[in-house]
Structure 1
Amino acid sequence: MSFFISHKKETKCRSIRRELVHKTVTTPVFSALGTLLLTFSPSPEASMLDELFDPKDGQLDASSYILNNAHGFMPVPFLITEPAVGTGGGVALLFFHETHEQKTLRLDNPDKVSGIPPSVTGVVGGSTSNGSKLAGVFHSGNWKQDKIRYLGGLFGGSFNLKYYADTANIANNFTIEGLYFLQDIDFRLGESNFFLGANYVNMGSNSSFNFSDSMPDIDPIELDSKDASVALKITYDSRDNHFSPRSGVKAGIKASFHDERLGGDFDYHEYSAFVQSYSRIAPKWGLGIRGDIKSVSDQVPFYAKPFLDMRGIPAMRYQGDSTVLAEVELSYDIDDRWAVLGFAGTGKAVDDDISFSDTDWQTSKGAGFRYLIARQLGLRTGIDIAKGPEEWTMYLQFGGSWK
């Protein structure tokens, strides 16, 4: 997108913008993005510096680069900071599909933030410090003016994780590798904010357990399995933005039915409900509240048990037949681009043979910041630092805190 400056002022303005790029993208959170955008120009005839800045406020912004890159896949490096698998990174090749109506609306209203995200096709691959690896392809579709939402993908991976048989501090190392296939679709009910949807999941995996830390005399155990399910769900979504919502509510309930007749080895049911609320309690203050409940029936494979999914707590650290959690996040806008935030949460993972009152609450808390990196998409990015029951963790965030 051009700044529409006159020819005789162009040299001076570019010099100023180069200085701003140097000062901005050398900060840690933008170093990878700055290198990426300066390396891959979507058009050899356009100034890369023009693609880096928003003509509305002159700030670093990736909206034009993302949305005008309609001729091919855009490489996007990313970092992995999940404590369950260690630190690492990878690259996603993303292709954004704007409809003709979306593109016309964006070009005619450059100050407007899109309420309907473009569809995205992606190829992704990454690895972490503990040897975990992931690769896959996916498509996120948004059709008929947000009447239909679709997500599908095929992923292969190998993950080195820890399994806690109970909430004690004794962990068993295991490796799980295999393929994960997902088809998910939602249909809007009339003109309302309600969606009725369904999905199908099929995962084939090989798990290898290493008990050498706790039982040195036991040889590793391997388990081949398949898990397939269909689910029915209803969702309410009034959020103002899909990437980084500032107001509105998203809530839903889902029932998943795992059955051998669907191609798996297990028969069990899984139920879940969630709510995410976003509100502006003052012009510069935002409040987010999240609640989440999950429960499974008997004969569930160990890796499918619900776990506490909160910042500061590694994946699968606290598992149970049922989980319940709540989080709150308070943010403050320094200006139109920058915001700081603090958050706290607590939850329980409970097995059926243990009473709810006998299970300890696990809490986490932390703070972070966000930068509006793509204004026309409403996309914010930043870093969170969180402290759980055992450790400190850093998270690189793209989009909202809660997925």
Structure 2
Amino acid sequence: MAFDQFIDPTDGMFDASSWVLDNAVGFMPVPIIITDPAVGAGGGAALMFFHESEARERQRKEHPDEIAGLPPSVTAVAAAATENGTWLTGAFHFGSWKEDTWRYQGGLFYGSFNLKYYVRDYPLDFNIDGLYFMQDIDYRIAGSDWFIGAKYAILSSKTTFDLGNDIVNLPPIDFDMNDANIELKVTYDSRDSIFTPNDGLKAKLGTEFHNQSFGGDLDYRKTRLQLNYFAPVIRDVVIGLRGDYQTVTDDAPYYARPFINMRGIPAMRYQGDDMALVELEARYDITPRWSLIGFTGTGKAFDEGQSFSDATYRTMVGGGFRYLVARQLNMRAGVDIAKGPEEWAYYITVGHAWSL
């Protein structure tokens, strides 16, 4: 029976591993529920298609009780919209080749976002509508956990600042912009899963060179250092630590300025020329399938000429639960709720909430 593909023979529980890995048309539908205060409530859906290399399939079938170490390739299509008129649609692919020596990511997205840009603490309404295209490649150095890589991305957008509610009789301000960049990066990745790690470190240092010669209209640089660390500290408990530092040159456009990106804090709410944050998460596995998590984090965004000590800490705290939906991928999914400096928000999370 087809339903048997959704039952894990090791524990008799619901599991999508067999459906998405053994079925030629297998896919995982992922509901998207958006509650980010920056765009309001909304939703959508994504379809994730998984493709295994022959080496990964052989490894998985020879050791069905274990998590295969080689990551699968994933293709996804998605669409979502929110109550304030924001919407996004697009497609994405992650590929891993030659026993994970090469990693590729590519995507094409089109959307329209209604957001607020804060001048100090004063919000200005704006819409950015555009097309985003990216190509990313990483190469593993001599079988180690180190990668070198490069990424090309271009955003072709139109921005409209609607100042009618702020300055009487002032018409909207429109401008078109192409922003293209090449990023050079070094990455270290020893995680045991690309979806929901239990152990390992992923760290990346990269600099984006935005330049007119790459097809854009702007010239600036953006440098970012990120790390996500996971460790099983005691039985059934996994601790995660996240750090993120970003800096841009002073000629960067408004949307490229770093902002504090954590659950419970609206996107672009706290921006600066520099941003630093740290986040701590603990996951307790009640059973091999069900888990509870708790997390907290704090960060600062500050401008050139302002010292880190003078900037204000922005802190959030939250919790949630996870279910192991695909054991052989080590993929957990669940719901988080978080409280930031100003309001509450909740999120559906598939994989891990920390992207890198």
TM-score, normalized by the shorter chain, greater than 0.5:
yes
Indicate the residue corresponding to 1:112 in structure 2: 66
Kindly indicate whether the alpha-carbon contact (under 8 Å) linking 1:206 and 1:224 is maintained by their aligned counterparts in 2: yes
1:77 and 1:275 map into 2 onto residues whose CA distance is 28
Unpaired runs of 5+ residues, structure 1, are 1-46
**Mapping for residues 2-401 of structure 1, pairs under 5 Å:** 47-71=1-25, 75-166=29-120, 168=121, 170-401=122-353
The amino acid across from 1:67 in the alignment is: L
Say which structure, 1 or 2, has more relative contact order (CA 8 Å, 6+ apart). 2
Partner of 2:119: helix, strand, or coil?
coil
1:133-167 per-position Cα deviation (integer Å, ceiling 9, x unaligned): 1111221101111101100011111111111122x
Partner of 1:64: helix, strand, or coil?
helix
Deviation at 1:76, TM superposition (A): 3.9
Identity of aligned residues (%): 50
> Given the two structures, how large is their TM-score scaled by the length of structure 2?
0.96
User: Higher strand proportion, which one?
Assistant: 2
User: Higher helix proportion, which one?
Assistant: 1
Flag the structure with larger Rg. 1
Deviation at 1:66, TM superposition (A): 1.2
1:231-284 per-position Cα deviation (integer Å, ceiling 9, x unaligned): 100010111111000111111100110001111111101111011110011012
1:110 and 1:299 map into 2 onto residues whose CA distance is 53
Indicate the residue corresponding to 1:37 in structure 2: none
Task: Tell me how many residue pairs correspond in the alignment.
Answer: 355
Unpaired runs of 5+ residues, structure 2, are none
Kindly indicate whether the alpha-carbon contact (under 8 Å) linking 1:88 and 1:129 is maintained by their aligned counterparts in 2: yes
2:106 and 2:50 map into 1 onto residues whose CA distance is 15
Kindly indicate whether the alpha-carbon contact (under 8 Å) linking 1:250 and 1:276 is maintained by their aligned counterparts in 2: yes
Kindly indicate whether the alpha-carbon contact (under 8 Å) linking 1:69 and 1:96 is maintained by their aligned counterparts in 2: no
1:92 and 1:397 map into 2 onto residues whose CA distance is 12
Deviation at 1:353, TM superposition (A): 3.2
| Larger deviation, residues 117-126 vs 275-284 | 117-126
Indicate the residue corresponding to 2:354 in structure 1: 402
Partner of 1:164: helix, strand, or coil?
strand
| Alignment root-mean-square deviation, CA | 1.4
